[in-house]
């Protein structure tokens, strides 16, 4: 049976994973994703993924995390705001999300929304399913789709928070970036005393981020 | 000329340095200081400071920080709530604060309050001065008292935050503890884009904390 994991989920030092004012042009709101995600974007594997065959880039701990993003993952669950800026009923049936024609997931992706719609099949193995479900219900569907593989809880912050609060994540890899966003959506809210239910192991990287591994206690 | 520093200032992963509901019996409010400060309390130097001559305890990075607490410090600035739980006018002139007869500061300590009162001289070199001053004014007084030595900005969270916001701290050592307090007083609020003014270096410890060093850019 696969595990339920969060990977490479990056949070500012003050606890925000998305800034304020998300829009079509600004998926992270006022936050600059190239600063928040700099640790990943400067790795060798990121450059290779983006087509640079003789890619240079960092090759240490950040690269290991960046390159293992899709190892063993059979399905993802994400919040609606990782797919679109829109709230309420869907207005444009032809818009297929922020992730381009060939999204980096390559598995079924379950998008949590109060407005279910038909699935969208993309290139490269990603199919977006739009479901109105509790975290536990969504996880049951995703586990069935993933088979023996793991399910990734992909964010955004309120989704990671909800799944942690219910103890549904087995291993959460959360990256603290040395950036202060000041405002936006917090990941740690409502998780008082989480350390009683999860072991928390920090590992600092020369890039300035801290890789946190939260492992659910038996 | 001395520097202005913060040392061993410990914050939960979700950014709180004091819990909710501070009172005479609960200086940290609902937060359990023995969990927040565990990294320091389990060091060899902490045990020695508390009278255990043949003390055992951790001897790595946590111990280095714990043992260097008073090296080169000539004065401290603290917020009133690091001295007392009381708000408003002072009610009990005989109560001399939370820190016992021989407080661990051994220097002049400037307590920020809107209710100035006569200084209190303690054993061991600590004298509490109660001043109604802006951060810059308080720092000028503390620097004069410290002479060639450094001034410690001792907290609580709103004091550290105010001094960081005004760029008055040269080097801030802030410890992230693997604990989620959930509520209380946040240290990071209002410090958006602080990384543009401070270099932020994290170092993880086997104890599970992360030592952050914030150094003001030239």
Find out whether A82 and A113 touch, Cβ atoms under 8 Å.
Answer: no
Which site among A12, A13, A34 would you substitute to test the B interface, given the most B Cβ atoms closer than 10 Å to its Cβ?
A: A13
Closest approach of chain A CAs to the CA of B152, in angstroms?
23
pTM over the 0.80 mark: yes
Rounded Cα distance, B171 and B160, in Å? 11
Which residues in chain B are contacts of A34 at CB distance < 8 A?
none
Using an 8 Å Cβ cutoff, are A73 and A146 in contact?
yes
- Using one digit for the tens of pLDDT, what is the confidence trace for B112-130? 999 999 999 999 999 999 9
Q: What are A164-212's pLDDT values in tens digits? A: 999 999 999 999 999 999 999 999 999 999 999 999 999 999 999 999 9
The Cα–Cα gap between A131 and A115 comes to 8
Fold of the B6-88+146-216 domain:
Dihydrofolate Reductase, subunit A (3.40.430)
Terminal Cα distance for chain B, rounded: 16
The Cβ of residue B134 has, within 10 Å, a number of other Cβ atoms equal to 11
Partnered with residue B32 across adjacent β-strands are none
User: Domain boundaries in chain B?
Assistant: 6-88+146-216
Tell me the C-alpha distance between B145 and B199, whole Å: 28
The token duo for B115 is 């209710």
Rg (CA), chain B: 17
- Which pLDDT tens digit goes with each residue over A76-87? 999 999 999 999
Write out the E strands in A80-208: 108-112, 117-121, 127-131, 150-153, 171-177, 185-186, 198-204
pLDDT of residue B49: 82
Q: Are A25 and A189 in contact (CB under 8 A)?
A: no
Range 150-179 of A in CB contact (< 8 A) with B: 176, 178-179
How far is Cα A51 from Cα A218, in angstroms, rounded to an integer? 42
Taking the Cβ of residue B208 and every Cβ of chain A, the question of whether any pair is shorter than 8 Å is answered with yes
Beta-bridge mates of residue A76:
A109, A152
Whether pLDDT at B50 is above 90: no
pLDDT digits (tens, 9 = 90+) for B156-185: 999 999 999 999 999 999 999 999 999 999
Q: Which of A188, A192, A202 has its CB closest to that of B178?
A: A202
Minimal C-alpha gap between A180 and chain B (Å)? 5
Say which range, A16-20, B41-45, B54-58, B151-155, has the weakest mean pLDDT.
B54-58
Of the candidates B82, B147, B89, B84, the residue with the CA atom closest to the CA atom of residue B114: B89
pLDDT at residue A50 greater than cutoff 90: no
pLDDT the model gives residue B120? 97
Alpha helix ranges (H) inside B70-189: 135-146, 157-165
State yes or no: pLDDT of B53 exceeds 90.
no
Q: For chain A, what is the mean pLDDT? A: 95
Chain B interface disruption, residue of A10, A16, A39, A180, most B CBs within 10 A = A180
Is residue A96 very low, low, confident or very high in pLDDT (cuts 50, 70, 90)?
A: very high
Residue B115's Cβ-side half-sphere holds a number of Cα atoms within 13 Å equal to 10
For domain A4-91+101-216, say whether CATH 3.40.430.10 is its number. Answer: yes
Q: Are B59 and B92 in contact (CB under 8 A)?
A: no
Displacement of CA A26 from its chain's centroid (Å)? 17
């Amino acid at each position: 049976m696969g595990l339920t994991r969060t990977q490479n989920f990056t949070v500012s030092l003050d606890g925000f994973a998305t800034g304020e004012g998300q829009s079509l042009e600004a998926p992270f709101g006022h936050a600059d994703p190239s600063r928040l995600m700099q640790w990943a974007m400067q790795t060798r594997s990121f450059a290779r993924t983006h087509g640079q065959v003789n890619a240079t880039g960092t090759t240490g701990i950040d690269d290991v995390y960046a390159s293992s993003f899709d190892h063993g993952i059979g399905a993802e669950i994400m919040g609606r705001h990782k797919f679109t800026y829109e709230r309420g009923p869907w207005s444009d049936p032809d818009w297929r999300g922020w992730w381009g024609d060939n999204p980096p997931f390559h598995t079924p992706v379950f998008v949590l929304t109060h407005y279910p719609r038909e699935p969208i099949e993309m290139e490269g193995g990603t199919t977006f399913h739009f479901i109105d479900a509790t975290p536990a219900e969504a996880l049951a569907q995703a586990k069935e789709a993933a088979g023996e593989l793991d399910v990734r809880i992909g964010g955004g912050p309120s989704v990671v928070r909800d799944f942690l609060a219910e103890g549904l994540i087995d291993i959460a890899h959360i990256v603290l970036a040395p950036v202060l966003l000041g405002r936006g959506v917090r990941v740690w809210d409502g998780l008082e005393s989480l350390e009683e239910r999860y072991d928390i192991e920090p590992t600092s990287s020369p890039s300035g981020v801290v890789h946190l591994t939260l492992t659910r206690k038996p």
